[in-house]
Homo-oligomer: A and B are copies of this chain.
């Protein structure tokens, strides 16, 4: 069977590079187009990555595939939807606002940008959590008159939190969440990203807009689609966060305090997280890990450097599950989620895989 032809917009940035690494050898998606800013247009991808000092600005650990290095980059404005089956978007929100709808008129767009996350007719998908939200895509097409659609993925800090809240919400209900994140530098990209002078021997206790995103997105992801499939009701969990940046390369750590809907024991909470299967349809997707959550018994875990790559960076690791003693039916735990794998490019690819499994990719 012919692979789906995919164009990647925002190909030269850090997020774009992660898409390239993640799509290498994908069973049914093939990158056949690379788009970036007009400045890069007409260059080979390798030349477009080369900084003014000659350094190759390729920053993901996996090697740059040679076939990709030789592809010619086009300007985002010049991308023609007719040449592709799907698009992946790794551009900034302001660019996404123009470019993604133009492509979505004709083809599905899977986006790491925040531009459309909060629109009422746009689902925010984490396949094991809310595969049931995909019918909203039909509503989106209907309302906008598009043949394609836009499906963004959540902010990378939301993802690990939502993955761990989902099983708790299913079994016990969740009423409130207070979360403090210790976020990795890769979430800020590289232009300029986090300056070494700012973060070494330091913590930066503020990431603009991040907390609001987590609070709104978590409620949307855990929400319920109405029977007609035409509207999402956000979950009524109350969420409050403080998001900080620490001197870690990859992997967001989150200290979570959660108030459950009913009494539970540490053993029950642990078992619930450990045994969670997620949506049935998501289990066999090519990028799905053997388990979405790995609970670690060692009290010193999870640690971002040790645990971020669990199951290819697609599993959320959880540890230190304890009663909280303050919140009603309160529990606390620590999680680590790979912000640039499950939380970004590989997460968006997982969504594409889901929609194909659900028959939404043509």
List residues of chain A with CB under 8 Å of any chain B CB.
53-56, 59, 61, 176-178, 180, 182, 185-186, 190-206, 208, 215, 238-240, 242, 244, 246-249, 253, 255, 257, 298-306, 319-320, 324-327, 330, 332, 334
Contacts and interface: CB of A to CB of B under 8 A. Distances in A.
B257 A178 contact: yes
Given A185-B196, A197-B249, 14 more contacts: A59-B197, A177-B326, A178-B178, A178-B327, A185-B197, A191-B192, A192-B192, A196-B196, A200-B249, A201-B248, A202-B248, A203-B253, A242-B320, A246-B247
A198 to B, nearest CB: 7
B238 A203 contact: no
A15 B186 CA distance: 27
Contacts of A246: 182, 203, 246-247
B240 A182 contact: no
13 contacts: A180-B180, A196-B200, A200-B248, A201-B248, A202-B304, A205-B301, A206-B299, A240-B257, A240-B324, A240-B330, A242-B255, A242-B320, A257-B257
A249 B201 contact: yes
A229 to B, nearest CB: 30
Given A191-B192, A240-B324, A298-B55, A203 B319 contact: no
The count of identical subunits is 4
Contacts of A190: 195, 197-198
A269 to B, nearest CB: 15
A319 B54 CA distance: 14
Contacts of A202: 248, 303-306
A236 B143 CA distance: 55
Contacts of A326: 176-178, 238-240
Residue among A177, A196, A304, A325 with the most chain B CB within 10 A?
A196
B197 A186 contact: yes
Contacts of A176: 326-327
A303 B320 CA distance: 26
A362 B255 CA distance: 47
Nearest to A301: B205
A195 B195 contact: yes
Contacts of A53: 208, 299-300
B303 A242 contact: no
